[in-house]
Structures are given as structure tokens and as C-alpha cells.
Structure 1
Amino acid sequence: MSTPPTIGRTVHYRASADDAVRINKRRKDAYKSGAYAQEDGTIAHVGNDVSEGQIFPAVVVRVWDVGTANLQVLLDGNDTFWATSRKEGEDVGTWHWPERV
């Protein structure tokens, strides 16, 4: 394990199959209900489909244990995904520090 996460830091999050199902469902529901096209201030979940293994930037919003944190995952769309109690790692459903380039 590397440096422990701290609030406000940006990490990379690898989406799990369950994450993808939940995100894609709420986006499909926004289209199905017509909420995405409202011009009355309604905010709907709109964006590109998510699939297992995709990596997204995420902001650490709470730290639980060493290496375990709640994240606001920045999706490719107008919404975010709240990933709770996620551990550091390389598998799906985990976060890791961005690679240095």
C-alpha cells in the first residue's frame, strides 16, 4: 500500500460490474422518463455508458481506515457516482493513485 488517502485528493477508480449496472440504469431511467429533455431546471443523469473496468477520476470525500475511503467518482457525463468504503487496489471496485507521467 502507498500513501494513505486524504480528503480532497484525486485518485483513479476502476468501476465494478455492479457500479456500471447502477449508473447505466439511472441514466436509462432519465431518458425513459424524458427527464433529460426537461427545460424547467430538472437535473437528470446523462452521459456515456459505463462498463466494468473503466477508470474514472474520483475525489476522496471521507477516509475510514488506512486505504479505505468514500469517493465521488467523476463520470463522463453530468453526474457523479458515490463509491462508499472502497479499498486501495488494482481490481474492479477499488481506487489507486494516478500513475506519474
Structure 2
Amino acid sequence: MNERKKGTMEFGAILKACRVRSKMTQDQLAEKLHIARSCVSKLESGKKLLDVPTLVKWAEATSSREVVVACLYGMDGLSILQNVMGMMFTFWLI
């Protein structure tokens, strides 16, 4: 798998983790972002690249600004996912 495709898929997984953490379905997020649900699906699966305005809206809609900042500053995607999933597990325990 080429590096661009791998990076896109990894970023898609991060986007999905942010959406799941915010307890939204793809339909709910699509409505907030004014895009089709299929677009959310393609972004999360790495089949479509995310533009900056949509990234900002996604971060705001999912309360995940810190994740987006970490990605933009080059933090490892796996570390981001582990942090997001850890927060989800913590909230689940509470």
C-alpha cells in the first residue's frame, strides 16, 4: 500500500474515532456539516480527502479540536487514536 493511501486511511480512522467519541452517527454528523452521509463514510474510510474548511467544521462538531491540532503538528496517528479511545473508555466507566 502506498504511503499516501495509508496516511489517508489512518486519518479517516481518527475522524471516525472523533465522531464516535462525540456519540454521533454518520447521519447526524453529515447533517451538522451540511454534507451527504456517504461523504462522511468516504472520509472515514480514506476514500476521499478532507478539505480544510470541512476539517475545521468536523473538529468543532465533534469537540475534537485538540485531535486536529495534533494531526496538523504531525503527531503520530496511532497515538492520537489511543488517546481518543482511552478518553472514550474513561467516559464509559464513569
Q: Which structure has greater strand proportion?
A: 1
Structure index of larger Rg = 1
Q: Which structure has greater helix proportion?
A: 2
TM-score (structure 1 length as normaliser): 0.27
